[in-house]
Structure 1
């Protein structure tokens, strides 16, 4: 019995002293590295660099009323998105010249039609595909570059209308 008691004591002492845990040293504390904030581009930077706008304006006069149609093609922003904006309005030429002489502002009503879509450029041809293909047809434009550079000077559509660089539409907020 003594031997059993001694064996139990040896086993218990071996278990209590044999399970010592090794302490790990904590890693040194380093301050986090802060990245500089991203550079904010102004709206003017986007319109100069990325967005490309081309406009074609046609006027047709019947009697004293002038009918104006402006076609604006915007592309080059947010991936392959593009927009075709058709603005139509008319005015009386005699009335407009009279109000300009008097120093008043002549305002006419406009009708805007926005056609959103996608564009692709292949071999100096720009293809505009509207999102609603059942309502609007695809448009193709030939890209005309400036001589000795790769900057786009103008576009020519399938009806040989010359689209020149023009001002992009600014976003409007209505309250």
Structure 2
């Protein structure tokens, strides 16, 4: 059994949240791609087009108020990644992950405890896969946006090897 007690930083939570979305269901993958990549790119193009049309209609003394609306809408699209980060920060605070929490990983499953706030125990069958990065182990539940984050710097090398063996035994790694 591996027991880890530590505070999860927002950066670790944000990274694991992005990976959970990226390796989730097809719907979550599409939403992630559209919200963080496609909408800001299209928003920038729309903003440039609306600016060009605003200048063009302003010179010809036509009505140009609608182009201001287009520019405002495109700015909302450009700032989608900022909105995503703000929503992630709110979720981080609501879950109170800035408090010390304990995760125990054993042959039977994963048990997480935030003292005085929440406790959960999940069998291995609840999870579908795991992701290993250079900084984190992330245990994913594919059908729901639930994940357990284990930072590697909270483990010594022997525990990392033991955790990797437990994960490979019970789950499939994400390719």
TM-score tier (shorter): under 0.3
TM-score normalised over the length of structure 2 = 0.28
Higher helix share: 2
Larger Rg belongs to: 1
TM-score normalised over the length of structure 1 = 0.28
Higher strand share: 1
